[in-house]
Amino acid sequence: MDVAEALARLEAAGTEQNRKIYRRHGARDPLFGVSFAVLHALAREAERDGALAASLWATGNYDARILACMVADQAAATEA
């Protein structure tokens, strides 16, 4: 999975109801409003991928950043 495919799938899975809930709990735009069930399914499909995680994080999108945290290779992460 590459970043373009991941973003397209996140956008397709987002709902207005989830966006309202996430904003109420402090999430900021941009966000798609993807449920955590879908995020976990995408993370399982992508497996551990540090490059994908870095690209997703760089988008600044709330949902993409959550997915980035799920697929990041923790062993390869540095403090910087």
The mean pLDDT value for 25-31 works out to 94
Q: Is 64 exposed, middle or buried (0-12, 13-18, 19+ CB in 10 A)?
A: buried
The mean pLDDT value for 69-77 works out to 85
Q: Residue 78: what pLDDT?
A: 73
pLDDT digits (tens, 9 = 90+) for 30-59: 999 999 999 999 999 998 988 999 999 999
Q: Residue 80: what pLDDT?
A: 66
Dist CA 6 CA 80 (whole Å): 25
Query: Would you state the structure tokens that stand for residue 28, as one six-digit string?
Result: 């900021």
Dist CA 29 CA 25 (whole Å): 12
The mean pLDDT value for 24-30 works out to 95
